[in-house]
Structure 1
């Protein structure tokens, strides 16, 4: 009997869109076409919401208000002039000037809605000179999506999340910094529990930390109106991604007036945040000139962070912005756990000030931009005994002053996209449960070999203020040199950068001699 063919799995909306968007490749770089695709999805979503509100006004016999933006804004809906509506774009999708029409539509929406200032792609479509037939095919695919049909499912948010992930994967090493893998963001949110107050991200990328904070509140029956969001992003195109990503979800946020460097132009100098979630650039070099920012108030009480690496500048920026009971969860390269010089002095002071609550080492291959293992830091300005009323429960915290929880997750996680690792929901639940049991000093918490260890201040002092988890956690089944691979990979990256810097210096020197008329032959 002939073997019956398996029915083909129907593609999801996200997969269909991705296939259609991929047809733009070749003429448009992935770093560019993410703005093209996400801009179009935003336009469709805004139009669907606008059309639904328009029908409501007609049903309420308020036709005279149909072209008044106040009657849309009052329902948190963007007003769209006729040339910005999706129906107008589709009617003209086969025209040779469709790219210009899309640029005009996006520009007009932004102009008519101050909340979108600086958010939408600016003149992308005309500038990229895309194939009209491929662009028309993408428009047809997006046209088939009813973005507001299912009230229970955040279709556009889901598409955005999928696309940001896929674009980060496509751009790979050295790029894709705008995206922190979702399971890492979930872990941070479940550990620091941002349920009420001010949330801040000093390097907010495409806004994933904020999105997950809101999801945490929804999952725990909290009130989104009790959260205020502040952020900053250096790259202009990524700043736009963040503003679009938040706008389509109806999340109000203050990301500063423009894209700007957090160190050189801090747009929230007086901010005090209850929660900080961040994934700043790893091992950022030359982040300030030698004589700049030496007296910056963010370092007050600590040594000035070295110019050679911004890791501790990011830490102190966040410490300076924590409220009296604030907690921060952020990702850094492993080198920050044990560096010398000014980094040692700052780390020692952080520990002496009892700010470090937990150090969690993550698996390799979680990030799309680097394969090295990295660390999640939890800083807490209130490790004392206290009671906190969460939306769905009351939690009693015991006194954990002068203690640090170390966790090793390098053997945790499940495969993802063949060569990557991500945390499953169970992984996240197990880790956060152990952490919260430790915080509450419950009998359920116990030091577990190869997983976790609660270190007293005296033990940390005896280890000379190192925060490397493997110096504290007991290892039974693993090689005692467990850090070898991580260290070698980190050294490989640093050595490669040193060689590149040496080659650049050589070229600069040769250029100077040639300009002086003293050519040198190698």
Structure 2
């Protein structure tokens, strides 16, 4: 299939369940079946790999009669170790996609699928509690599930033709992206656009050390970080190592993350359970070298009322009706002595003065924790229209482990609002590869890091500036990049207006979120007494 045909097949398969299953739920059975198709194809292909190994000239079996080799290959094909040694999931007989495809017209297909997923979990410890096993509870029209399986059977995962983990990773990410676009605001619970993830990773440059995401969603930050590490091992002449730690609020999203890690051959510590990072912290003693996170913007119900004396609030007590500065402080408190963090937040966080947030921001700056601020263009996110920015924190801005240039008392401001030249759709844009490289290189030159090209950093009017503490004090510790880089088309009055609009937008978004929460609560209570609206 061409790339477009491939994508069309993927999305057509998902749409078969549209109208039968709630939009926010149908991604789980679809992704589970794609996973089943993937592991079944790779399992089958491994049998051929085993046979070919016996026929290689350097194999001790090369001199054996061909019929005997085939007999031995058939025997090895039923040996679990011959699969697991190559990180291939063992798929027991009866649980393989082709076995189940033979029963797509059966009345008990859903139950067969649930048993198959259970059997795969039983054979592969890293998948225990991960796979979707609620096919039997789906309220579907007769034949819908079989129709979906027949459509997905068109997908072919062949490790002889491509990197199977990479191609499945693309499939998984494509699905998550499409579901995010279709679900709108709810998508923020599990998906960060690839363009934003790439920029975070390229600037943070995780290579060796513990990596943590306290709002890990489906695990995209982890996967991209590991890809970055492997891509730069040859450049740096050494192996990277990134032990993974994360936490996720939603049980179903946590399963998406664990599956995502598993199919990429990764293991991670996601704590003992799902739950709030604020009220049920799974890693209270962790000190991470790298933190990447896209926490939900402006959430009002985060447990702040009961956490006023929490030791994480070293820079000030965050307001109970907005978690932005709780997220910042949680992550700052989890950094190691060399640790750095990359965080996506609403634009309002850069200028807000409400409920003591301005004082907390000032304290973070004076403590020399803020390293870099990046203003993002609009339309990067499919699930929110709230303007966003990137915060980069660092516990060590001196010359040494994080860079050869001493940047104590300075903050790098980068204004990317005019970037994002790739048009993904009518309503969404992305950074091009060249743009991503240029933005990240600006940071690495400024810091003198191992990922720099060796050229000197220079301020660029309208794009970037290294500001001093005195510069930031003059701007009352506001962190909007446009104030510092001197954009040619924006004077101080325009920038002040933009700051006010950003804060107003954040407040409106918060009120709307509260309204949606109240509406959901009313619906649930009415449903509890037999009424539906």
Q: What range describes the TM-score normalised by the shorter chain of this pair?
A: 0.7 to 0.9
2:83 corresponds to 1:76: no
Query: Which whole-Å CA distance do the structure 2 matches of 1:503 and 1:385 have between them?
Result: 48
SS at match of 2:362: helix
Aligned residues of 1:356 and 1:379 also touching (Cα < 8 A)? yes
2:169 corresponds to 1:161: no
SS at match of 2:101: helix
Higher mean C-alpha deviation, range 461-470 or range 418-427: 461-470
For the structure 1 residues 483 and 424, does the alpha-carbon distance in structure 2 shift closer, same or farther, using more than 3 Å as the test?
A: farther
For the structure 1 residues 318 and 228, does the alpha-carbon distance in structure 2 shift closer, same or farther, using more than 3 Å as the test?
A: same
Quote the offset at 1:63 in angstroms. Answer: 5.8
Quote the offset at 1:375 in angstroms. Answer: 0.9
Quote the offset at 1:10 in angstroms. Answer: 7.1
Query: Which whole-Å CA distance do the structure 1 matches of 2:177 and 2:515 have between them?
Result: 35
Aligned to 1:514: none
Aligned to 2:13: 20
Aligned to 1:184: 196
Quote the offset at 1:289 in angstroms. Answer: 4.9
Quote the offset at 1:49 in angstroms. Answer: 2.6
Aligned residues of 1:447 and 1:453 also touching (Cα < 8 A)? yes
Aligned residues of 2:382 and 2:427 also touching (Cα < 8 A)? no
Aligned residues of 2:304 and 2:321 also touching (Cα < 8 A)? no
Q: Deviations over 1:286-333 (max 9, x none)?
A: 21152x23333322x332222111111111111111111111111011
Query: Which whole-Å CA distance do the structure 1 matches of 2:296 and 2:513 have between them?
Result: 19
Question: Which of 139, 144, 151 is the matching residue for 1:129?
Answer: 139
2:84 corresponds to 1:91: no
Higher mean C-alpha deviation, range 496-505 or range 165-174: 496-505
2:390 corresponds to 1:397: no
Aligned to 2:44: 51
Matching of residues 266-281 of structure 1 within 5 Å? 266-281=281-296
Matching of residues 5-404 of structure 1 within 5 Å? 11-55=4-48, 61=72, 69-123=80-134, 125-149=135-159, 150-152=161-163, 154-221=166-233, 226-290=241-305, 292-299=306-313, 301-340=314-353, 341-386=355-400, 397-404=404-411
Any gaps of 5 or more consecutive residues in structure 1?
1-7, 389-395, 510-522
For the structure 1 residues 155 and 261, does the alpha-carbon distance in structure 2 shift closer, same or farther, using more than 3 Å as the test?
A: same
Aligned residues of 1:373 and 1:486 also touching (Cα < 8 A)? no
Quote the offset at 1:252 in angstroms. Answer: 1.3
For the structure 1 residues 122 and 261, does the alpha-carbon distance in structure 2 shift closer, same or farther, using more than 3 Å as the test?
A: farther
Q: What TM-score, normalized to structure 1?
A: 0.87
2:444 corresponds to 1:436: yes
Query: Which whole-Å CA distance do the structure 2 matches of 1:14 and 1:156 have between them?
Result: 12
Q: What TM-score, normalized to structure 2?
A: 0.85
Higher mean C-alpha deviation, range 310-319 or range 345-354: 345-354
Quote the offset at 1:46 in angstroms. Answer: 1.5
Quote the offset at 1:88 in angstroms. Answer: 1.4
Query: Which whole-Å CA distance do the structure 1 matches of 2:147 and 2:105 have between them?
Result: 9
Paired residues, number: 492
Quote the offset at 1:9 in angstroms. Answer: 7.6
Any gaps of 5 or more consecutive residues in structure 2?
55-71, 523-533
Higher mean C-alpha deviation, range 276-285 or range 406-415: 406-415
2:414 corresponds to 1:407: yes
Instruction: Give the alignment's Cα RMSD to 1 decimal.
Output: 2.9
SS at match of 1:139: helix
